[in-house]
């Protein structure tokens, strides 16, 4: 169970750092939190947030986490339109198919631009 808690804490710490107008994917969160391929688990962590607030009461920019296709994945939960509106208000543009340009919007901690840190490869 400690392993799960550590993963959750790492995911939430990463989400807290995403700057306005930038996004991260669930898979990217999992990779950077030390569990490559655990995108679904990162999604569960995000889904556990009530109103964008973590267990400590800290506000988190939950809207900045999207799927690998550059789309929001919260429509089934009833938050999709809100998430898109929040992102658009931050300057993230979506095309007619509901995708944002990950090459322009994706954020990698410690990097100036949109490429993953070399240490991950």
Model pTM score:
0.83
Extents of the domains making up the chain: 2-120
* pLDDT given at position 52: 63
* pLDDT given at position 53: 59
Q: Which fold has domain 2-120?
A: Arc Repressor Mutant, subunit A (1.10.10)
**Mutual orientation of helices 39-47 and 2-17 as an angle, nearest 10°?**
80
Provide block-wise average pLDDT over 10 residues at a time, the chain (121 residues). 73 95 97 95 86 66 95 88 95 96 93 49 37
């Amino acid at each position: 169970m400690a392993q799960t808690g550590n993963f959750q804490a790492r995911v939430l710490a990463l989400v807290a750092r995403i700057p306005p107008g930038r996004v991260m994917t669930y898979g990217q969160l999992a990779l950077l939190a030390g569990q490559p391929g655990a995108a679904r688990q990162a999604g569960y962590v995000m889904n556990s947030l009530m109103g964008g607030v973590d267990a400590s009461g800290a506000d988190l920019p939950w809207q900045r986490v999207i799927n690998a296709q550059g789309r929001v994945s919260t429509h089934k939960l009833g938050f999709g339109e809100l998430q898109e509106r929040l992102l658009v208000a931050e300057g993230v543009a979506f095309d007619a198919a509901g995708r944002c340009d990950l090459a322009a919007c994706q954020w990698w901690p410690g990097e100036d631009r949109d490429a993953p840190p070399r240490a991950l490869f």
